[in-house]
Structure 1
Protein backbone atom coordinates (compact mmCIF):
# COMPACT_ATOMS: atom_id res chain seq x y z
CA UNK A 1 0.00 0.00 0.00
CA UNK A 2 0.99 3.65 -0.35
CA UNK A 3 3.43 5.15 2.17
CA UNK A 4 2.17 8.07 4.28
CA UNK A 5 3.82 10.52 6.68
CA UNK A 6 1.26 10.68 9.47
CA UNK A 7 -0.72 7.45 9.13
CA UNK A 8 -0.08 3.86 8.17
CA UNK A 9 -2.38 1.77 6.01
CA UNK A 10 -1.87 -1.97 5.66
CA UNK A 11 -3.91 -5.04 4.81
CA UNK A 12 -4.18 -8.43 6.48
CA UNK A 13 -5.97 -10.67 3.99
CA UNK A 14 -9.21 -8.75 3.35
CA UNK A 15 -9.00 -6.44 6.40
CA UNK A 16 -7.46 -2.97 6.07
CA UNK A 17 -5.84 -1.43 9.15
CA UNK A 18 -5.44 2.36 9.31
CA UNK A 19 -3.33 3.74 12.15
CA UNK A 20 -3.07 7.44 12.99
CA UNK A 21 0.69 7.58 13.54
CA UNK A 22 1.69 10.68 15.51
CA UNK A 23 2.23 9.17 18.97
CA UNK A 24 4.53 12.03 20.03
CA UNK A 25 1.55 14.38 19.62
CA UNK A 26 -1.02 11.86 20.92
CA UNK A 27 -2.09 11.35 17.29
CA UNK A 28 -3.60 14.84 17.09
CA UNK A 29 -5.40 15.62 13.84
CA UNK A 30 -3.84 18.30 11.67
CA UNK A 31 -4.48 19.08 8.02
CA UNK A 32 -1.88 16.58 6.82
CA UNK A 33 -3.41 13.75 8.87
CA UNK A 34 -6.88 14.55 7.54
CA UNK A 35 -5.69 14.66 3.94
CA UNK A 36 -3.78 11.39 4.26
CA UNK A 37 -6.75 9.75 5.94
CA UNK A 38 -8.85 10.87 2.98
CA UNK A 39 -6.36 9.31 0.54
CA UNK A 40 -6.37 6.04 2.48
CA UNK A 41 -10.17 5.89 2.42
CA UNK A 42 -10.14 6.57 -1.33
CA UNK A 43 -7.66 3.74 -1.85
CA UNK A 44 -9.74 1.32 0.20
CA UNK A 45 -12.97 2.34 -1.54
CA UNK A 46 -11.74 1.01 -4.91
CA UNK A 47 -10.02 -2.12 -3.57
CA UNK A 48 -12.59 -4.88 -3.96
CA UNK A 49 -10.52 -7.33 -1.91
CA UNK A 50 -10.99 -5.33 1.31
CA UNK A 51 -14.19 -6.13 3.19
CA UNK A 52 -13.74 -4.27 6.49
CA UNK A 53 -11.51 -1.61 8.05
CA UNK A 54 -10.00 -1.29 11.52
CA UNK A 55 -9.04 2.27 12.51
CA UNK A 56 -6.75 2.88 15.48
CA UNK A 57 -4.06 5.14 16.91
CA UNK A 58 -0.35 4.46 17.43
CA UNK A 59 1.00 4.02 20.94
CA UNK A 60 -0.74 3.20 24.20
CA UNK A 61 -1.77 6.69 25.32
CA UNK A 62 -4.19 7.82 22.65
CA UNK A 63 -6.49 6.80 19.85
CA UNK A 64 -6.63 10.47 18.85
CA UNK A 65 -6.38 13.10 21.59
CA UNK A 66 -8.10 15.75 19.46
CA UNK A 67 -7.47 18.18 16.66
CA UNK A 68 -4.06 19.86 16.64
CA UNK A 69 -4.51 22.98 18.77
CA UNK A 70 -1.11 24.33 17.73
CA UNK A 71 -2.37 24.44 14.14
CA UNK A 72 -5.81 25.79 15.03
CA UNK A 73 -4.82 28.56 17.42
CA UNK A 74 -4.01 31.25 14.85
CA UNK A 75 -6.83 30.53 12.39
CA UNK A 76 -9.25 33.29 11.50
CA UNK A 77 -13.00 32.83 11.03
CA UNK A 78 -12.78 31.72 7.41
CA UNK A 79 -9.82 29.40 7.99
CA UNK A 80 -11.53 27.80 10.99
CA UNK A 81 -14.71 27.23 8.98
CA UNK A 82 -12.69 25.63 6.19
CA UNK A 83 -10.87 23.38 8.70
CA UNK A 84 -14.20 22.25 10.14
CA UNK A 85 -15.57 21.63 6.65
CA UNK A 86 -12.46 19.62 5.71
CA UNK A 87 -12.81 17.39 8.75
CA UNK A 88 -16.53 16.93 8.17
CA UNK A 89 -16.04 15.99 4.51
CA UNK A 90 -13.42 13.38 5.35
CA UNK A 91 -15.29 11.92 8.32
CA UNK A 92 -18.43 11.69 6.18
CA UNK A 93 -16.40 9.93 3.48
CA UNK A 94 -15.26 7.42 6.10
CA UNK A 95 -18.81 7.05 7.45
CA UNK A 96 -20.22 6.45 3.96
CA UNK A 97 -17.56 3.96 2.88
CA UNK A 98 -19.45 0.95 1.52
CA UNK A 99 -17.69 -1.43 3.93
CA UNK A 100 -17.81 -1.38 7.75
CA UNK A 101 -15.22 0.55 9.75
CA UNK A 102 -14.40 -0.49 13.32
CA UNK A 103 -12.67 1.96 15.66
CA UNK A 104 -10.20 0.28 18.03
CA UNK A 105 -9.97 2.94 20.72
CA UNK A 106 -6.80 2.68 22.77
CA UNK A 107 -6.43 5.57 25.23
CA UNK A 108 -7.74 9.10 24.76
CA UNK A 109 -10.49 9.75 22.21
CA UNK A 110 -11.12 13.43 22.82
CA UNK A 111 -12.52 16.18 20.63
CA UNK A 112 -11.73 15.29 17.04
CA UNK A 113 -10.70 11.83 18.20
CA UNK A 114 -14.11 11.12 19.69
CA UNK A 115 -15.66 12.55 16.52
CA UNK A 116 -13.48 10.30 14.36
CA UNK A 117 -14.55 7.26 16.38
CA UNK A 118 -18.20 8.26 15.99
CA UNK A 119 -17.79 8.37 12.21
CA UNK A 120 -16.96 4.66 12.34
CA UNK A 121 -19.67 1.99 12.30
CA UNK A 122 -18.59 0.20 15.48
CA UNK A 123 -16.42 1.27 18.42
CA UNK A 124 -14.42 -1.16 20.58
CA UNK A 125 -12.72 0.48 23.56
CA UNK A 126 -9.93 -0.56 25.84
CA UNK A 127 -10.77 -0.51 29.54
CA UNK A 128 -8.49 2.51 30.07
CA UNK A 129 -9.91 4.53 27.15
CA UNK A 130 -11.32 8.01 27.81
CA UNK A 131 -13.90 9.84 25.72
CA UNK A 132 -14.98 13.46 25.64
CA UNK A 133 -15.72 16.63 23.73
CA UNK A 134 -13.72 19.26 25.69
CA UNK A 135 -13.94 22.05 23.09
CA UNK A 136 -15.97 24.48 25.23
CA UNK A 137 -13.00 24.62 27.62
CA UNK A 138 -10.97 26.05 24.73
CA UNK A 139 -13.52 28.72 23.86
CA UNK A 140 -14.83 26.83 20.85
CA UNK A 141 -17.24 23.96 20.11
CA UNK A 142 -17.08 20.55 18.48
CA UNK A 143 -16.48 21.09 14.77
CA UNK A 144 -15.96 17.67 13.18
CA UNK A 145 -19.51 16.37 13.60
CA UNK A 146 -19.61 16.06 17.39
CA UNK A 147 -22.79 18.06 17.87
CA UNK A 148 -24.58 15.87 15.33
CA UNK A 149 -23.26 12.32 15.65
CA UNK A 150 -23.10 12.31 19.45
CA UNK A 151 -26.77 13.27 19.74
CA UNK A 152 -27.71 10.57 17.23
CA UNK A 153 -25.74 7.92 19.13
CA UNK A 154 -26.60 8.67 22.76
CA UNK A 155 -29.61 10.99 22.58
CA UNK A 156 -29.80 14.76 22.80
CA UNK A 157 -29.89 14.98 26.60
CA UNK A 158 -26.65 13.09 27.30
CA UNK A 159 -24.99 14.66 24.25
CA UNK A 160 -25.77 18.14 25.58
CA UNK A 161 -24.38 17.22 28.99
CA UNK A 162 -21.09 16.02 27.50
CA UNK A 163 -20.79 18.87 25.00
CA UNK A 164 -21.73 21.63 27.49
CA UNK A 165 -19.51 20.40 30.35
CA UNK A 166 -16.59 19.09 28.32
CA UNK A 167 -16.50 16.18 30.78
CA UNK A 168 -14.18 13.27 30.03
CA UNK A 169 -15.80 9.88 30.62
CA UNK A 170 -14.50 6.35 31.10
CA UNK A 171 -14.86 3.48 28.66
CA UNK A 172 -17.41 1.86 30.96
CA UNK A 173 -19.52 5.03 31.04
CA UNK A 174 -19.21 5.30 27.25
CA UNK A 175 -20.54 1.75 27.02
CA UNK A 176 -23.43 2.53 29.39
CA UNK A 177 -24.65 5.42 27.25
CA UNK A 178 -24.21 3.57 23.94
CA UNK A 179 -21.19 5.47 22.68
CA UNK A 180 -19.14 2.27 22.37
CA UNK A 181 -20.19 -1.26 21.47
CA UNK A 182 -17.77 -3.21 23.64
CA UNK A 183 -15.10 -2.69 26.31
CA UNK A 184 -12.17 -5.12 26.46
CA UNK A 185 -8.79 -5.35 28.15
CA UNK A 186 -6.61 -2.53 26.84
CA UNK A 187 -4.02 -4.87 25.31
CA UNK A 188 -6.71 -6.72 23.37
CA UNK A 189 -8.42 -3.79 21.64
CA UNK A 190 -6.93 -4.15 18.17
CA UNK A 191 -7.08 -7.95 18.32
CA UNK A 192 -10.78 -7.79 19.22
CA UNK A 193 -11.46 -5.28 16.44
CA UNK A 194 -9.68 -7.46 13.88
CA UNK A 195 -11.59 -10.51 15.09
CA UNK A 196 -14.90 -8.69 14.57
CA UNK A 197 -13.73 -7.41 11.18
CA UNK A 198 -12.88 -10.98 10.15
CA UNK A 199 -16.34 -12.16 11.19
CA UNK A 200 -17.92 -9.42 9.08
CA UNK A 201 -15.58 -10.20 6.18
CA UNK A 202 -16.79 -13.81 6.16
CA UNK A 203 -20.34 -12.70 5.35
CA UNK A 204 -21.75 -11.52 2.04
CA UNK A 205 -19.97 -8.27 1.10
CA UNK A 206 -23.03 -7.10 -0.78
CA UNK A 207 -25.36 -8.05 2.05
CA UNK A 208 -23.22 -6.12 4.53
CA UNK A 209 -22.82 -3.13 2.20
CA UNK A 210 -26.54 -2.90 1.47
CA UNK A 211 -27.30 -3.22 5.19
CA UNK A 212 -24.97 -0.31 5.95
CA UNK A 213 -26.66 1.80 3.27
CA UNK A 214 -30.11 0.94 4.62
CA UNK A 215 -29.12 2.05 8.13
CA UNK A 216 -27.17 5.17 7.17
CA UNK A 217 -29.77 6.42 4.68
CA UNK A 218 -32.78 5.19 6.61
CA UNK A 219 -32.10 7.14 9.81
CA UNK A 220 -32.68 10.37 7.89
CA UNK A 221 -36.06 9.23 6.54
CA UNK A 222 -39.45 8.77 8.12
CA UNK A 223 -40.27 5.15 8.93
CA UNK A 224 -42.49 4.56 5.90
CA UNK A 225 -39.85 5.71 3.42
CA UNK A 226 -37.10 3.91 5.34
CA UNK A 227 -39.01 0.63 5.13
CA UNK A 228 -39.50 1.21 1.41
CA UNK A 229 -35.74 1.70 1.05
CA UNK A 230 -35.12 -1.54 2.94
CA UNK A 231 -37.50 -3.47 0.68
CA UNK A 232 -35.83 -2.04 -2.42
CA UNK A 233 -32.35 -3.03 -1.26
CA UNK A 234 -33.56 -6.43 -0.04
CA UNK A 235 -35.05 -7.15 -3.45
CA UNK A 236 -31.97 -5.97 -5.31
CA UNK A 237 -29.83 -8.55 -3.53
CA UNK A 238 -31.83 -11.33 -5.18
CA UNK A 239 -30.13 -10.47 -8.48
CA UNK A 240 -26.67 -11.24 -7.05
CA UNK A 241 -24.38 -14.27 -7.01
CA UNK A 242 -23.94 -13.73 -3.26
CA UNK A 243 -27.62 -14.46 -2.67
CA UNK A 244 -27.51 -17.60 -4.82
CA UNK A 245 -24.34 -18.82 -3.13
CA UNK A 246 -25.49 -17.97 0.39
CA UNK A 247 -28.82 -19.77 0.17
CA UNK A 248 -27.42 -22.71 -1.77
CA UNK A 249 -24.63 -23.14 0.80
CA UNK A 250 -27.21 -23.03 3.61
CA UNK A 251 -29.34 -25.74 2.02
CA UNK A 252 -26.25 -27.84 1.28
CA UNK A 253 -25.04 -27.38 4.88
CA UNK A 254 -21.66 -25.93 3.91
CA UNK A 255 -19.77 -22.66 4.38
CA UNK A 256 -20.66 -20.06 1.77
CA UNK A 257 -17.87 -18.71 -0.46
CA UNK A 258 -18.93 -15.14 -1.12
CA UNK A 259 -17.31 -13.07 -3.86
CA UNK A 260 -19.18 -9.81 -3.51
CA UNK A 261 -20.87 -10.18 -6.86
Structure 2
Protein backbone atom coordinates (compact mmCIF):
# COMPACT_ATOMS: atom_id res chain seq x y z
CA UNK A 1 0.00 0.00 0.00
CA UNK A 2 1.28 3.45 -0.91
CA UNK A 3 -0.96 6.50 -0.57
CA UNK A 4 0.29 9.97 -1.50
CA UNK A 5 -1.46 13.27 -0.74
CA UNK A 6 0.09 16.73 -0.90
CA UNK A 7 3.50 16.27 0.81
CA UNK A 8 2.32 13.29 2.87
CA UNK A 9 3.21 9.71 1.92
CA UNK A 10 1.61 6.68 3.58
CA UNK A 11 3.19 3.29 2.88
CA UNK A 12 3.05 -0.16 4.44
CA UNK A 13 5.62 -2.91 4.86
CA UNK A 14 4.11 -5.95 6.53
CA UNK A 15 2.19 -4.93 9.65
CA UNK A 16 3.91 -1.54 9.96
CA UNK A 17 2.72 1.58 8.13
CA UNK A 18 4.91 4.66 7.74
CA UNK A 19 3.59 8.17 7.26
CA UNK A 20 6.36 10.38 5.85
CA UNK A 21 6.10 14.16 5.91
CA UNK A 22 7.69 15.06 2.59
CA UNK A 23 8.10 18.78 1.99
CA UNK A 24 11.88 19.28 2.20
CA UNK A 25 11.91 22.71 0.55
CA UNK A 26 9.93 24.03 3.54
CA UNK A 27 11.65 21.90 6.21
CA UNK A 28 8.45 19.82 6.25
CA UNK A 29 6.29 22.75 7.38
CA UNK A 30 2.65 21.69 7.49
CA UNK A 31 0.28 23.43 5.09
CA UNK A 32 -3.46 23.68 5.66
CA UNK A 33 -3.95 20.99 3.00
CA UNK A 34 -1.56 18.68 4.85
CA UNK A 35 -3.31 19.17 8.19
CA UNK A 36 -6.65 18.60 6.46
CA UNK A 37 -5.45 15.32 4.92
CA UNK A 38 -4.45 13.74 8.24
CA UNK A 39 -7.91 12.59 9.44
CA UNK A 40 -8.57 10.66 6.22
CA UNK A 41 -5.10 9.07 6.26
CA UNK A 42 -5.53 8.04 9.91
CA UNK A 43 -8.96 6.60 9.10
CA UNK A 44 -7.33 4.43 6.42
CA UNK A 45 -4.73 3.16 8.89
CA UNK A 46 -7.41 2.50 11.50
CA UNK A 47 -9.63 0.58 9.07
CA UNK A 48 -6.86 -1.65 7.68
CA UNK A 49 -6.62 -4.54 10.14
CA UNK A 50 -3.39 -5.75 8.53
CA UNK A 51 -1.69 -2.60 9.90
CA UNK A 52 -0.72 -2.95 13.55
CA UNK A 53 1.62 0.01 14.15
CA UNK A 54 2.15 3.42 12.55
CA UNK A 55 5.51 5.23 12.37
CA UNK A 56 5.52 8.96 11.55
CA UNK A 57 8.76 10.43 10.22
CA UNK A 58 10.22 13.12 7.98
CA UNK A 59 13.46 13.58 6.08
CA UNK A 60 16.26 15.87 7.21
CA UNK A 61 13.63 17.48 9.46
CA UNK A 62 10.59 16.00 11.18
CA UNK A 63 8.58 19.21 10.76
CA UNK A 64 9.29 22.91 11.26
CA UNK A 65 5.62 23.39 12.23
CA UNK A 66 2.71 25.12 10.55
CA UNK A 67 3.50 26.95 7.31
CA UNK A 68 3.50 30.53 8.55
CA UNK A 69 3.76 31.72 4.95
CA UNK A 70 0.08 30.77 4.54
CA UNK A 71 -1.08 32.87 7.49
CA UNK A 72 -1.47 36.14 5.58
CA UNK A 73 -3.84 34.51 3.10
CA UNK A 74 -5.56 31.94 5.33
CA UNK A 75 -5.59 33.34 8.90
CA UNK A 76 -6.12 37.09 8.52
CA UNK A 77 -9.78 37.17 9.59
CA UNK A 78 -10.90 35.65 12.91
CA UNK A 79 -13.20 33.16 11.17
CA UNK A 80 -10.35 32.06 8.91
CA UNK A 81 -8.05 31.64 11.89
CA UNK A 82 -10.71 29.54 13.61
CA UNK A 83 -11.06 27.27 10.57
CA UNK A 84 -7.30 26.89 10.30
CA UNK A 85 -7.02 26.09 14.01
CA UNK A 86 -9.78 23.49 13.70
CA UNK A 87 -7.92 21.77 10.85
CA UNK A 88 -4.76 21.60 12.97
CA UNK A 89 -6.75 20.30 15.94
CA UNK A 90 -8.53 17.66 13.85
CA UNK A 91 -5.26 16.50 12.28
CA UNK A 92 -3.48 16.12 15.61
CA UNK A 93 -6.53 14.47 17.23
CA UNK A 94 -6.75 11.95 14.39
CA UNK A 95 -3.24 10.77 15.27
CA UNK A 96 -3.82 10.85 19.02
CA UNK A 97 -7.07 8.86 18.87
CA UNK A 98 -5.83 6.18 16.47
CA UNK A 99 -6.59 2.78 18.03
CA UNK A 100 -3.17 1.46 17.00
CA UNK A 101 0.23 2.30 18.53
CA UNK A 102 2.09 5.22 16.99
CA UNK A 103 5.80 6.06 17.03
CA UNK A 104 7.36 9.40 16.03
CA UNK A 105 10.87 9.08 14.55
CA UNK A 106 12.16 12.63 15.01
CA UNK A 107 15.02 14.21 13.08
CA UNK A 108 16.19 17.80 12.69
CA UNK A 109 13.58 20.41 13.54
CA UNK A 110 10.53 19.37 15.54
CA UNK A 111 8.98 22.77 16.13
CA UNK A 112 5.47 24.10 16.76
CA UNK A 113 2.99 21.97 14.83
CA UNK A 114 5.74 19.40 14.28
CA UNK A 115 6.01 19.00 18.04
CA UNK A 116 2.20 18.81 18.16
CA UNK A 117 2.29 15.84 15.77
CA UNK A 118 5.05 14.17 17.80
CA UNK A 119 3.13 14.67 21.05
CA UNK A 120 0.06 13.06 19.45
CA UNK A 121 2.11 9.85 19.05
CA UNK A 122 2.39 7.24 21.79
CA UNK A 123 6.18 6.96 21.66
CA UNK A 124 8.79 9.50 20.54
CA UNK A 125 12.31 8.55 19.45
CA UNK A 126 14.73 11.24 18.32
CA UNK A 127 18.09 11.77 16.71
CA UNK A 128 20.55 13.24 19.19
CA UNK A 129 20.92 16.40 17.08
CA UNK A 130 17.17 17.12 16.85
CA UNK A 131 15.76 20.46 18.04
CA UNK A 132 12.42 21.06 19.74
CA UNK A 133 10.14 23.97 20.56
CA UNK A 134 6.51 25.06 20.74
CA UNK A 135 6.31 28.68 19.66
CA UNK A 136 2.79 30.19 19.79
CA UNK A 137 4.09 32.89 22.16
CA UNK A 138 6.16 34.22 19.23
CA UNK A 139 3.03 34.52 17.07
CA UNK A 140 0.28 35.68 19.40
CA UNK A 141 -1.53 32.34 19.25
CA UNK A 142 -2.95 30.39 22.21
CA UNK A 143 -1.96 26.74 22.00
CA UNK A 144 -4.95 24.39 21.67
CA UNK A 145 -6.35 22.85 24.85
CA UNK A 146 -6.05 19.21 23.75
CA UNK A 147 -2.43 19.65 22.64
CA UNK A 148 -1.59 21.60 25.81
CA UNK A 149 -2.99 18.74 27.88
CA UNK A 150 -0.85 16.28 25.96
CA UNK A 151 2.23 18.40 26.61
CA UNK A 152 1.37 18.57 30.34
CA UNK A 153 0.76 14.81 30.46
CA UNK A 154 4.19 14.18 28.90
CA UNK A 155 6.49 16.74 30.58
CA UNK A 156 4.47 17.97 33.58
CA UNK A 157 2.98 21.41 34.24
CA UNK A 158 6.19 23.25 35.15
CA UNK A 159 8.04 22.32 31.97
CA UNK A 160 4.90 22.80 29.89
CA UNK A 161 4.65 26.37 31.18
CA UNK A 162 8.32 27.09 30.50
CA UNK A 163 8.08 25.69 26.96
CA UNK A 164 4.90 27.64 26.16
CA UNK A 165 5.80 30.87 27.97
CA UNK A 166 9.23 31.23 26.35
CA UNK A 167 8.81 29.65 22.92
CA UNK A 168 12.48 28.69 23.26
CA UNK A 169 14.14 26.07 21.08
CA UNK A 170 15.83 23.32 23.09
CA UNK A 171 18.07 20.40 22.27
CA UNK A 172 17.48 16.66 22.21
CA UNK A 173 19.31 16.08 25.49
CA UNK A 174 16.86 18.42 27.23
CA UNK A 175 13.93 16.74 25.48
CA UNK A 176 15.09 13.38 26.85
CA UNK A 177 15.69 14.75 30.36
CA UNK A 178 12.19 16.23 30.66
CA UNK A 179 10.48 13.17 29.17
CA UNK A 180 9.43 14.71 25.86
CA UNK A 181 11.17 11.85 24.03
CA UNK A 182 11.65 8.24 25.09
CA UNK A 183 15.02 7.59 23.44
CA UNK A 184 17.88 9.32 21.61
CA UNK A 185 19.93 7.77 18.80
CA UNK A 186 23.03 8.93 16.91
CA UNK A 187 21.62 10.45 13.74
CA UNK A 188 18.67 10.16 11.39
CA UNK A 189 19.40 6.69 10.02
CA UNK A 190 19.81 5.22 13.50
CA UNK A 191 16.58 6.69 14.87
CA UNK A 192 14.55 5.52 11.87
CA UNK A 193 16.02 2.02 12.13
CA UNK A 194 15.22 1.90 15.85
CA UNK A 195 11.67 3.21 15.35
CA UNK A 196 10.91 0.65 12.65
CA UNK A 197 12.46 -2.11 14.76
CA UNK A 198 10.34 -1.12 17.74
CA UNK A 199 7.25 -0.98 15.52
CA UNK A 200 7.93 -4.49 14.21
CA UNK A 201 8.40 -5.75 17.78
CA UNK A 202 5.10 -4.20 18.91
CA UNK A 203 3.40 -5.62 15.81
CA UNK A 204 4.62 -9.10 16.82
CA UNK A 205 3.01 -8.90 20.28
CA UNK A 206 -0.54 -9.88 21.21
CA UNK A 207 -2.65 -7.10 19.74
CA UNK A 208 -5.45 -7.63 22.24
CA UNK A 209 -2.89 -6.74 24.93
CA UNK A 210 -1.33 -3.82 23.04
CA UNK A 211 -4.63 -2.15 22.17
CA UNK A 212 -6.03 -2.85 25.63
CA UNK A 213 -2.98 -1.16 27.17
CA UNK A 214 -3.36 1.88 24.90
CA UNK A 215 -7.02 2.20 25.78
CA UNK A 216 -6.42 1.98 29.53
CA UNK A 217 -3.43 4.35 29.57
CA UNK A 218 -5.43 6.89 27.55
CA UNK A 219 -8.35 6.55 29.96
CA UNK A 220 -6.03 7.17 32.91
CA UNK A 221 -4.47 10.28 31.33
CA UNK A 222 -8.02 11.37 30.48
CA UNK A 223 -8.85 11.41 34.18
CA UNK A 224 -10.37 7.98 34.83
CA UNK A 225 -9.24 6.70 38.24
CA UNK A 226 -11.03 3.37 38.66
CA UNK A 227 -12.14 0.37 36.63
CA UNK A 228 -15.50 0.52 34.96
CA UNK A 229 -17.52 -1.90 32.85
CA UNK A 230 -15.70 -0.86 29.67
CA UNK A 231 -12.32 -1.73 31.20
CA UNK A 232 -13.61 -5.00 32.61
CA UNK A 233 -14.85 -5.81 29.12
CA UNK A 234 -11.27 -5.42 27.86
CA UNK A 235 -10.13 -8.02 30.39
CA UNK A 236 -12.89 -10.39 29.32
CA UNK A 237 -12.10 -9.87 25.65
CA UNK A 238 -8.45 -10.73 26.25
CA UNK A 239 -9.01 -14.05 28.05
CA UNK A 240 -11.44 -15.23 25.38
CA UNK A 241 -9.27 -14.10 22.47
CA UNK A 242 -7.30 -16.09 19.92
CA UNK A 243 -4.22 -14.19 21.11
CA UNK A 244 -4.63 -15.55 24.64
CA UNK A 245 -5.13 -19.10 23.39
CA UNK A 246 -2.01 -18.84 21.22
CA UNK A 247 0.02 -17.28 24.04
CA UNK A 248 -0.82 -20.13 26.42
CA UNK A 249 -0.15 -22.80 23.78
CA UNK A 250 3.19 -21.23 22.91
CA UNK A 251 4.22 -21.08 26.56
CA UNK A 252 3.35 -24.75 27.12
CA UNK A 253 5.09 -25.74 23.87
CA UNK A 254 8.16 -23.65 24.79
CA UNK A 255 8.05 -21.74 21.51
CA UNK A 256 7.62 -18.17 20.32
CA UNK A 257 3.94 -17.22 19.98
CA UNK A 258 2.56 -16.38 16.54
CA UNK A 259 -0.01 -13.65 17.13
In 2, the alpha carbon distance for the partners of 1:156 and 1:229 equals 29
CA drift at 1:190 = 0.8
1:206 aligns with 2:208: yes
Superposition pairs of residues 100-139 of structure 1, within 5 angstroms:
100-139=101-140
Aligned counterpart, 1:191: 193
- SS, match of residue 66 in structure 2: coil
1:217 matched residue in structure 2: 219
- The aligned counterpart of 1:69 is 68
Work out the CA distance in 1 between the residues paired with 2:36 and 2:147.
19
In structure 2, do the counterparts of structure 1 residues 109 and 145 end up closer, same or farther at CA, with 3 Å as the change threshold? farther
Q: Contact 1:34–1:87 (CA<8 Å) still a contact in 2?
A: yes
* Structure 1 gaps, min length 5: none
Structure 1's 137 and 120: CA in aligned 2 closer, same or farther, altered over 3 A?
same
Does structure 2 retain, via aligned residues, the 8 Å contact 1:102–1:120?
yes
State the 1:250 CA deviation. 1.3
* SS in structure 2 of the partner of residue 128 of structure 1: coil
- 1:5 and 2:6 are equivalent in the alignment: yes
Deviation of residue 37 (structure 1)?
2.5
Cα offset for 1:172?
Answer: 0.8
Q: Say whether the 8 Å CA contact 1:117–1:123 is kept in structure 2.
A: yes
Compute the displacement of 1:39 (Å): 2.4
Return the TM-score normalized by structure 2. Answer: 0.93
CA contact (8 A) 2:38 2:94 kept: no
Output one character per residue of 1:150-177: Cα deviation in whole Å (capped at 9) or x when no partner: 1111111110011000011111100100
2-side partners of 1:193 and 1:144: how far apart? 28
**SS of equivalent residue, structure 2 residue 200:** helix
RMSD: 1.6
Looking at structure 1, the residues matched to 122 and 80 of structure 2 have their Cα atoms a distance apart, in angstroms, of 29
SS of the equivalent of 1:91 reads helix
Q: How many residues align?
A: 255
Unaligned segments of structure 2, at least 5 residues: none
The 5-angstrom pairing of residues 229-244 of structure 1 reads 230-244=231-245
